[in-house]
Structure formats: structure tokens, C-alpha cells
């Protein structure tokens, strides 16, 4: 789905982005920048999820069940 919109864009930033991305048009530059931002956010979210899963998988190694079972723990 496409959406037509009008926005103000910093021309110097746009030029830098076009050069960095090698994009021939403003539209291609904006689309590629949005795609890269979305991909980076998704990759970061997946990395955090994987880190949390690894931590949860080793959680038993970090717990002292005897302490948790003790009455002293819950006072």
C-alpha cells in the first residue's frame, strides 16, 4: 500500500542519505532509509529476545533452591 504525503526534509541530510545509500531519487532514499530503520529495530528486538531466552535457559544455574525453600527467605 502506498501513501502520498508531504513533508519538510532537511536538504543537506537528504543529500547525505542519497550519497550514503546510492539512491537515485528522493523516494528511493526515503524508502531505503525507512527499510533500514525498520530492519535495525527488528534485529535489535530479536537480539534482546535471544538474550532473554539464553538467560532464562540458565536461570536454574543462578538460583539457590535451598535458599528459596527456607523460611528465612520469606520473612
What is the 8-class DSSP label of residue 22? T
How big is the CA angle at 58 (ends 57 and 59), to the nearest 5 degrees?
95
pTM given for the model = 0.71
Per-residue b or e along 44-57, where b marks 16 or more CB atoms closer than 10 Å to that residue's CB: eeeeeeeeeeeeee
Residue-wise pLDDT for 19-35, tens only, equals 999 999 999 999 999 99
Q: Give the model confidence (pLDDT) of 31-68 as tens digits.
A: 999 999 999 999 999 999 999 999 999 988 878 888 87
Cell 538474550 belongs to residue: 51
- Domain limits, the chain: 11-74
Amino acid at each position: 500500500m502506498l501513501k502520498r504525503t508531504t513533508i519538510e526534509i532537511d536538504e543537506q541530510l537528504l543529500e547525505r542519505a542519497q550519497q550514503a545509500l546510492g539512491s537515485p531519487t528522493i523516494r528511493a532514499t526515503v524508502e531505503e532509509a525507512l527499510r533500514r530503520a525498520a530492519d535495525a529495530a527488528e534485529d535489535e528486538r530479536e537480539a534482546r529476545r535471544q538474550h532473554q531466552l539464553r538467560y532464562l535457559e540458565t536461570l536454574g544455574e543462578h538460583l539457590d533452591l535451598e535458599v528459596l525453600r527456607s523460611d528465612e527467605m520469606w520473612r
